[in-house]
Structure 1
Amino acid sequence: MSEPGIAIDPLPKVWDPDSRVGDMLRGLRGLVVGIANENSIAFGCAAKLRAFGAELAVTYLNEKSERFVRPLAEQIDAALILPLDVQVPGQTEAVFDRIRQEWGRLDFVIHSIAFAPRADLHGRVVDCSAEGFAQAMNVSCYSFIEMARLAEPLMTQGGTLITMSYYGADKVVGRYNLMGPVKAALEASVRYVANELAPAGIRAFAVSPGPLKTRAASGIAAFDELVADAVERTPSHRLVDIAEVGRVVAFLVGGASSGMTGDTIFVDAGLHNIG
């Protein structure tokens, strides 16, 4: 079923203020981490969450990225625009402290960041360095756990924690290399976080999109070949886009998904079902 005023094929611009689709998320406030540019999965999520009425805080990595992120944040009327590099001690805590000061509570967190050093990402898993593996785990996985811990006291009415994974967490995908075990750890972390925070009414999910031409994905060796393979193998012979991922995230944040938690949700045009 399509949202009023939004065509499914072709998809509209990710953010179109003239095609607000309703207010099912009105009154909810959330943090979106990981916007780098207009092609980011995080921006697709932020735009759809805002279109459904949510109020947002968004982050940018550093001063260099701010010039790309701030115009997008302003385009979707983000209430807070904050710096966040999870590798800098104290920055994650500072973001949640600011949210506590401004809002006093939090309803959802969208975690859409990942990193591995190029040398470790492009080599065999068995050849990766201890330092590269630790850095990839810290940025891509531990930061989600840390955000869950910091969000818990702010989610006084319950809440939703969502991170981004990929099919390579479950199956061996050529050239995905080190990120496969890292994303597998992330999906396992989601299950444990969902179990531990369920008594507080906090749910957790991993969303697993198909290959998307984002800046982060460009670091994967021969990524164009991976994309071409996905287009060939999906039943509809196409890629998903960030707007489609954003719609699923909006569903998970909303009350319609109240009976779900701990799951990995695939948004990949059926790619994961193809052997």
Structure 2
Amino acid sequence: MERDTHLQGKVALIVGVANSHSIASGCAHAFAAAGAEMALTYLNDKAHPHVQPVADDVGAHLLLPLDVEVDGEMEAVFAAIKARWGRLDILVHSIAYCPAEDLQGRVVDCSQAGFLRAMDISVHSLIRMARLAEPLMDKGGSLLTMSYYGGEKVVDRYNVMGPVKAALEGTVRSLAVELGPRDIRVNALSPGPLLTRAGSGIAHFDELIDAARQRSPQRSLVSIEEVGKVAAMYASDATRLISGETIHIDGGLHVRA
């Protein structure tokens, strides 16, 4: 069988690999299979041992620290990419965070500090990355971020992350309009519930997973591998005229009332 090389020669930055089970890891493996060269990031020294095996598996050229709350780290990542390749074709933004006490409570009880931190890490970081990526995408490019259906409808126990994801999807649309003239497209992928460490922070997450499996028209949960394949497609030139979209990868779950 002929090897898929539709990302051959593309340079990709994948932000948000936590371990081999994270969505960003699924994207990294799919990009590697399609021939992309990659830079990955890890949150901190504690996370590094969990991300290094992924970087090794996909043959990442760079593995760099990136905590978006630490001044200068984001700029250092993009400077390293410029030094290594001189350009960037693909950016995957797969990070989100909310303090547990705010995530597991009602939206009406969310603290100001918790809300602002969730918005900064989950949404404004995409804006900051887009600003840094823009001059490196002088021949166009693809920005992808990760959303969830809770940004469109109220999902039980998703709580304050619903408004945060709604803001993320609105940001995607604005960035798509602003960056479109430079042939940079911006899209959000919206997978159904996944068995990831990030998802497990949601209260009663097992119930959410079971409900998704039962209500999905295809009666199955999405996997990180499937999300990675869709990400690789939207990173490719085949989708160069698709921008500002939220693409659901959930077995049809989002169409259910």
TM-score interval (norm. to shorter)? over 0.9
Number of the residue aligned with 2:74: 92
Residue identity in the other structure for 2:9? G
Matches within 5 A, 1:145-184: 145-184=127-166
How large is the RMSD of aligned CA atoms in angstroms? 0.8
Residue identity in the other structure for 1:260? I
**Unaligned runs of at least 5 residues, structure 2:** none
Output the CA distance in 2 between the equivalents of 1:21 and 1:161: 25
Q: Does 1:240 align with 2:222?
A: yes
Q: Does 1:251 align with 2:233?
A: yes
Residue identity in the other structure for 1:64? K
Output the CA distance in 1 between the equivalents of 2:177 and 2:42: 30
State the 4+ residue runs in structure 1 displaced beyond 4 angstroms.
none
Aligned partner (choices 178, 185, 202) of residue 167 of structure 2: 185
TM-score (norm: length of structure 2): 0.99
Number of the residue aligned with 2:126: 144
CA deviation vs aligned residue, 1:62-103 (integer Å, no higher than 9, x gap)? 001100101110111001000000011111111001111111
Number of the residue aligned with 1:262: 244
Q: Does 1:38 align with 2:24?
A: no
Question: What number of residue pairs does the alignment pair up?
Answer: 257
Residue 251 of structure 2 aligns to a residue whose secondary structure is coil
Number of the residue aligned with 2:97: 115
Number of the residue aligned with 2:189: 207
Number of the residue aligned with 2:209: 227
Number of the residue aligned with 1:124: 106
CA deviation vs aligned residue, 1:113-171 (integer Å, no higher than 9, x gap)? 00000000011001100000000000000001100000000001100000000000000
Following TM superposition, by how much is the alpha carbon of 1:21 offset from its aligned partner in structure 2, in angstroms?
3.9
Residue 64 of structure 1 aligns to a residue whose secondary structure is coil
**Unaligned runs of at least 5 residues, structure 1:** 5-19
Output the CA distance in 2 between the equivalents of 1:260 and 1:110: 16
Following TM superposition, by how much is the alpha carbon of 1:230 offset from its aligned partner in structure 2, in angstroms?
0.2
TM-score (norm: length of structure 1): 0.92
Residue identity in the other structure for 1:46? A
Residue identity in the other structure for 1:87? E
Number of the residue aligned with 2:42: 60
Q: Does 1:134 align with 2:116?
A: yes
Residue 76 of structure 2 aligns to a residue whose secondary structure is helix
CA deviation vs aligned residue, 1:7-34 (integer Å, no higher than 9, x gap)? xxxxxxxxxxxxx841111000010001
Q: Percent identity?
A: 56
